[in-house]
A = this chain, B = another copy of it.
Amino acid sequence: MNDTILSESVSKFNTHIARICDLNHSAALLEWDQETYMPSGAAASRASQISTLRQMSHELLTSDTTASLVEKLESDGLKPGSIEADHVLIVRKDFERATKIPGNLVAQLAETAALSRGAWMKARTQNEFELFAPHLEKIIDLCRQKAEALTYKTEIYDPLLDEFEPGTSTAKVRLIFEELREKLVPIVQQIATEPAPEDDFLHTFFPRDAQWKFGLDVAKDFGYDMNTGRQDYSAHPFSTTFSISDVRITTRIDEHFFNPGFFGTLHESGHGMYEQGVSHELERTLLADGTSLGMHESQSRMWENLIGRSREFWSHYYPRAQAAFPGALSGVSEQDFYRAVNKVAPSLIRVEADELTYNLHIMVRFELEIELLEDRIKVAELPSAWNDRMESYLGVRPKSDSDGVLQDIHWSLGAFGYFPTYALGNLISSQLYDQVSVAIPDLPDQIAEGSFSELLAWLRKHIHVFGRRKSAAQILRETTNSELSIESWIHYIEKKYETLYGH
């Protein structure tokens, strides 16, 4: 085919998709503003605006224009493996997925989610599951319809999971989680018999501004670029992307607890660095995104836990922490601090859980989601099913639904299939880290010197730069020569917590 005509087709295609990207990123900015600076009175008008932008993006993506541009380029012989060819593949994939879901189902889901979110907030505040229950029933019904529309071979959960973790399957995740639980529960139980580290000093007083500065300074040391990023406050920390040159994070700070603000900033900066590291050649294409939520979470968890909760890290940063928080830490030894930020204790709230028990929280949700979708349990039975499962996996039983089944926003938004990616991220982070440790033999020394540039460069080169051009499985294969598995992570926690709890 004539190169000029081909490049004209590519250019038309790029211009068309760039509009979709601009609409999506604009909607993301409206959402970011909603959580950070928007005056409270603007809630209703903002909801309409976000809905308009999302709808227009969806209309463009599912339009005949997209179909014909994609078909043209598919038949035009783009060079396989080129950015253009990869872009067409991803647009085809997103197009297929988006066109399978009928427009009125999209609208119903959006509307139900908006109402449901409000009902969930009220239900959680008032600890009344009944306020949320009818909304959750509708959400589950709509998610079932969505799964049917998307079609599946074996399990109804598959197409929902695929939205967040493309390329995996419910069966695979179930198997991984079963293996993981078998190994993890005895470890957690063993730790429960050991004396818990003293961590009262983490709950004294850590001034807001000092926390803000200390956390952000570390994120900058990691390599989170403030020229293309920034941090703001929000009720629930998140990271969000408006372009490869504008990737923001948020944090919340509790002046009476060191962990949420500090480790939250590290976590979000990990997400942020992933998106900042995508190749600028992919700007305004649908390739410019993390390849899966599991891969995304592997990055946030690596910086938060594998680095940020490591002994080497604190050997460098603990003197700084003491200088930043003299009131709270002046009499605390580095070793005691290190033990405290790694304290393991089964608890009720996922977002406050330690590195070990966190995965058990995820399993509870994964299993219940499937049972709800398959109608094996009813919404009315959900609170007690939740509590039973928490007791069985973690040995703790919520006293209220607010601390139990009502704690997370995800279901109210219809995000069934999302939770497992958190646990997959933990596993992937460790598999990748093993590989980095081979590639950079003196990495522990570098961390102990507060130097992270080689590590970040490795992650950039092997993961970030590709955006969605490589799948999570492909990245794992190419970097670690293996599939997703639990061994690396189990090895990591066994080694770490054996030393920590010194038995």
Contacts and interface: CB of A to CB of B under 8 A. Distances in A.
Interface of A: 18-19, 22-23, 25-27, 29-30, 33, 37-42, 44-46, 48-49, 52-53, 56, 225-230, 232, 242-246, 248, 283-284
Given A46-B243, A49-B242, 19 more contacts: A25-B45, A26-B27, A26-B30, A26-B53, A37-B37, A39-B227, A39-B228, A39-B245, A39-B246, A41-B228, A41-B246, A42-B242, A42-B245, A45-B242, A45-B244, A45-B283, A46-B242, A46-B246, A49-B243
A114 B180 CA distance: 56
Nearest to A49: B22
Contacts of A225: 41
A29 B53 CA distance: 13
Nearest to A15: B52
Contacts of A284: 45, 48
A19 B246 contact: no
A25 B26 CA distance: 11
A19 B56 contact: yes
B39 A226 contact: yes
B52 A18 contact: yes
Contact of A37 (B40, B230, B245): B230
| 7 A-B pairs closest in CB distance | A45-B243, A42-B246, A22-B52, A41-B228, A41-B227, A41-B245, A22-B49
Contacts of A46: 242-243, 246
A223 to B, nearest CB: 14
Contact of A49 (B26, B44, B45, B52): B26
A407 to B, nearest CB: 29
23 contacts: A18-B52, A22-B53, A23-B53, A25-B45, A26-B26, A26-B27, A37-B232, A38-B246, A39-B226, A39-B227, A39-B230, A39-B248, A41-B227, A41-B245, A42-B228, A42-B246, A44-B245, A45-B244, A45-B245, A45-B283, A46-B243, A46-B246, A48-B284
